Structure 1
């Protein structure tokens, strides 16, 4: 039950952060968002730092689960057009519904990690099937520096998501993603 309660609290903390930003993230706000008695969050996460660390770990866990599910649900991209379509779909998931909420929380945590290196370690991009597919496709097109191009391409896609979040959009133009893929393969 303790693990489940910690997960519920971390998920509630993600919601609080997405709704109100870093200043809104308090033990009381998480208690309220989780529908639990006052003091529950403090009992599981004694400090704000402990709460923030749990939130970031849970955020990464949920992101990795989403990427794994997306990879399992669709075939790996075999050509630049399929890669652009897959990345455009990824952006849409990050800009709508629950994915949007996680994106808002992730960017708030990324900014906070400038001052808290321990968060940066948790937020560092992880290896996963989707990232491997991008790298493999870039390498298959003859790029000697496929890893560097993968990192750059995914950072640019992340930048498009951030831009749409800030500007209030809920989609990224597919042609913008296609141009990024073409540049990565050039």
Structure 2
């Protein structure tokens, strides 16, 4: 018994030799081989901000003294005013030639000579002869309507005969100029570029007659205005073309009868 007890090793004194766990090696991907010629990038400095190109005019203006820069608008304005005066002189010359010799008298050379300007000036301000004629026609119409408004704008109230006399005299102005005006008006029937100007003349005359009838107490509807305006235009053209000594007196009588026919409460005498 004693010998057996000596051979028994108590559990609390028994030691167990533990084997440490074996760690498995984790395979890591092999680094990719880099070519021998590849070099790491070298940082470059940022480019300067882009600048707008400076025009020669601005650069010159910056380098010029302040006094020169201030004088530039004045010089430019004077140049523009000179161009306006030259163009108006050419148009005035064309209008004069229309009254003196008619449609055929208006040529580039004749207009430049009358205006006292170089021949090249006409082609500079007007693209062609038709353009020159159209603008001369427009100027004629504008001046004629302005003169008619001035003569009829302060029309005082009065009897029928006085109104007829004023209307009959409304177009009794410069006969040569009106000859050129009517010649271009007829030419507008063949030239579409002149038609809009001819219509502006008719519309302007209608507007003037409408205001005259309104102030005088007459009906001023579309029919009455067209009736009186058409009558005046026919008498006007007849007087300009025929130049009869008694044409003005005849015109007054006809206009008076026309006004009597549209006046409310008035009977037209036989």
Match of residue 116 from structure 2: 35
The answer as to 2:131 corresponding to 1:131 is: no
Query: How has the CA–CA distance of structure 1 residues 114 and 58 changed in structure 2, closer, same or farther, with 3 Å as cutoff?
Result: same
**Alignment coverage as a number of residue pairs:** 177
Gaps of 5+ in 2: 1-81, 262-270
| Mapped contact 1:164–1:172 kept (Cα < 8 A) | yes
1:88 is displaced (CA, Å) by 2.4
Query: Do 1:164 and 1:170's aligned partners in 2 also have CA atoms closer than 8 Å?
Result: no
Give yes or no for the alignment of 1:3 onto 2:84.
yes
Unmatched 5+ stretches in structure 1: 94-98
Larger radius of gyration: 2
Contact 2:168 2:255 survives alignment (8 Å): no
Task: Indicate how the Cα distance of structure 1 residues 170 and 8 shifts in structure 2: closer, same or farther if over 3 A, else same.
Answer: farther
- Provide the residue aligned with 1:164 in structure 2: 239
1:70 aligns with 2:151: yes
TM-score (norm 1): 0.81
**Alignment map for 1:98-113 (pairs within 5 Å):** 99-113=174-188
Q: TM-score, normalising length from structure 2?
A: 0.58
**Where does residue 248 of structure 2 map in the other structure?**
173
- Give the conservation status (yes or no) of the 8 Å contact 1:150–1:184: no
Moved over 6 A (4+): none
Whether the aligned pair in 2 keeps the contact of 1:17 and 1:24 (CA below 8 Å) is: yes
Q: CA deviation at 1:48?
A: 1.1
Over the residues paired in the alignment, what is the CA RMSD in angstroms?
2.5
- 1:7-156 to structure 2, matched below 5 A, reads 7-72=88-153, 74-93=154-173, 99-124=174-199, 125-127=202-204, 130-136=208-214, 140-141=217-218, 143=219, 146-156=221-231
**Structure 1 residues 86 and 137 mapped into 2: Cα distance closer, same or farther (>3 Å)?**
same
